[in-house]
Amino acid sequence: MYANYLFMNKKEVRNLVVIENTALNTTNFLISLNSSEPLPILLPGQFVNIEIKDSSEIFLRRPFSVFDVNYDQNTLSIIVKILGRGSKKLTEIRVGESLSIVFPLGKGFTFPKSEDKVLLVGGGSGVAPMLFLAKESGLIKENVSLLLGAKTIEDHVNVDEYAKYGNLYFTTENGSLGEKGFVTQHSVFQNRLENYDKIYACGPDAMMKAIAKEAKKANVFCEVSLENLMACGFGVCLCCIEPTIKGNLCVCTEGPVFNINDLKW
């Protein structure tokens, strides 16, 4: 049944070889994986479900957003923030070892139109899909604002890479980089939200709920990428259910990206 499901939905299980595992700071790691065969199309907001290797106690795969893809070199990258045992074990993987992944999973963000002005907001590990969206959207840099929130300056990683694709704004909870506070306290939210055609966000629930509230107030299109706890990643275990105006939906198959108007927030 598992094999049939994956086949019908053009998802696959593949072993990819680790070609890079770089510590970006003490808790965030950039892991790049190479496939011996061409990669399927991976859209911003989609994710991969990774088996935690050599662990007798972690049975379930762990979901990670696609951070970057290079189709010429058949490589894809993820950013892993250490949260618990699974992510910790994953960051200990060595170059040359392989990882079993199920992909591509979920539905990605709605692409902006070429003339759209967009605001991309990432908090914590939620910054990963934002860079991929900024890159793949094909928008001119002037039309892209990237607002990244974190606890401290040390938590802001890969900043140079983000700067290539948009105007960068930061918040930190202790004020060590950018404006002090949460992303929704940034001046972009205070007086400029109506300037944007679309807002996209990924991060902690509380952050996305606060963004959704502001976007509704300003009547701006907004999509968020939910990070509900997941197990199977393809709609069978029902552990990732989110109540929506269309009923209870699996975040792994009907999301993780949702329009805020569909959520019961």
Determine which residue in the list 14, 62, 107, 198 makes contact with ligand FAD, applying CB under 6 A: 62
The first and second tokens of residue 86, run together, are 């699974």
Instruction: Residue 164: name the closest of 189, 188, 150, 146 by CA.
Output: 146
250 binds, among ligand FAD, ligand FES, none (CB under 5 to 8 A by kind): ligand FES
238 binds, among ligand FES, ligand FAD, none (CB under 5 to 8 A by kind): ligand FES
Q: Binding of ligand FAD at residue 109 (CB under 6 A)? A: no
Q: Three-class SS of residue 240?
A: coil
Q: Binding of ligand FAD at residue 75 (CB under 6 A)? A: no
Beta bridge partners of residue 77, listed in sequence order: 32, 68
Q: Binding of ligand FAD at residue 99 (CB under 6 A)? A: no
What is the DSSP track for 184-239? Answer: GGSHHHHH-GGG-SEEEEES-HHHHHHHHHHHHHHT-EEEEE-----SSSSSSS-T
Determine which residue in the list 31, 69, 128, 222 makes contact with ligand FAD, applying CB under 6 A: 128
Q: Binding of ligand FAD at residue 81 (CB under 6 A)? A: yes
62 binds, among ligand FES, ligand FAD, none (CB under 5 to 8 A by kind): ligand FAD
In the bound state with ligand FES, the residue whose beta carbon lies nearer, of 93 and 252, is: 252
Q: How far apart are CA 194 and CA 146, in angstroms?
A: 16
- HSE of 93 in the Cβ direction (CA atoms, 13 Å)? 30
The first and second tokens of residue 228, run together, are 């509900």
Angle at 91 between CA 122 and CA 177, to 5 degrees: 35
In the bound state with ligand FAD, the residue whose beta carbon lies nearer, of 24 and 218, is: 24
203 binds, among ligand FES, ligand FAD, none (CB under 5 to 8 A by kind): none
For the bound state, the minimum distance from the C-beta of residue 233 to ligand FES, rounded and expressed in Å, comes to: 5
- HSE of 55 in the Cβ direction (CA atoms, 13 Å)? 20
Q: How far apart are CA 206 and CA 175, in angstroms?
A: 20
In the bound state with ligand FAD, the residue whose beta carbon lies nearer, of 16 and 230, is: 230
Amino acid 80 reads V
Determine which residue in the list 45, 129, 149, 233 makes contact with ligand FES, applying CB under 6 A: 233
Q: Binding of ligand FAD at residue 85 (CB under 6 A)? A: yes
Determine which residue in the list 87, 145, 171, 172 makes contact with ligand FAD, applying CB under 6 A: 87
Say which residue the tokens 């049975």 belong to: 59
Say which residue the tokens 């306290």 belong to: 185
Q: Binding of ligand FES at residue 255 (CB under 6 A)? A: no
Q: What x/- string results for residues 32 through 61 when contact with ligand FAD is judged by CB under 6 A?
A: ---------------x--------------
Residues engaged in binding ligand FAD (CB under 6 A): 47, 62-65, 78-81, 83-87, 125, 128, 227-230, 256
